[in-house]
Amino acid sequence: RQRLAEDLDHARHEIAAMEARASDAEAAKAQLEQALAEQREQQALKERELSDSLDKAQRESSAAASSTAESLDEERARAQRLAEDLEAARSEIAALEERASDAEAAKTQLELALSEQREQQAQRERELAESLHTVQRESSAAASSTAESLNEERA
């Protein structure tokens, strides 16, 4: 009986540890989502700034068409750099979205594993409780039988 009670207590500690890990995973996911949201805001702002700069550079480039060929080449190079920066920002956003998707998939797998662990622990607790109940009944029956035998011997 003591062993069954200890096994039951151990199972409960395992469940508590799994729940703590799940809570830690949820907190880490929330932090990652917050960081991703902040990064997206920064990237969106940077993209708008770069887009505005690109638009401005293109307007200036058009206005400078009558200017010297050297001046025009400089403006085109600047516009190209801004376009490359914009593309790099878009690539970074795509990579962050992929990381967020991977984190979500990992969270789903962790939740599934935790659910399975809880089901196993619940089944184990039921089995342990059933075994404990059986041992108690058998112990009670044995005690009753022993008491009857002692009474018969006394008689």
How does pLDDT run across 6-16, given as a tens digit for each residue?
A: 888 998 999 99
Residue 154 in domain:
no
Token pair listed for 33? 């989502």
The per-residue pLDDT for 117 is: 92
Residue 137 lies in a domain: yes
Q: Exposure of 3 by Cβ count < 10 A (0-12 exposed, 13-18 middle, 19+ buried)?
A: exposed
Indicate the pTM of the whole model. 0.38
The number of residues in the chain equals 155
- Asked whether residue 150 is domain-assigned, the answer is no
- The C-alpha R_g of the chain, in whole angstroms, comes to 35
Report how many domains make up the chain.
1
| Residue 48 counted as domain residue | yes
Domain span at 133 = 2-142
| 16 inside domain | yes
Q: What is the mean pLDDT of the chain?
A: 89
| DSSP letter for each residue of 39-98 | HHHHHHHHHHHHHHHHHHHHHHHHHGGGS-HHHHHHHHHHHHHHHHHHHHHHHHHHHHHH
User: Is residue 147 a part of any domain in this protein?
Assistant: no
Q: How many CB atoms lie within 10 A of CB 1?
A: 10
pLDDT in tens, 89-126: 899 999 989 998 998 998 999 899 989 999 999 999 99
**Both structure tokens of 125:** 């607790």
Which are the contacts of 12, defined by CB distance < 8 A and separation ≥ 6?
Answer: 125
pLDDT of residue 71: 75
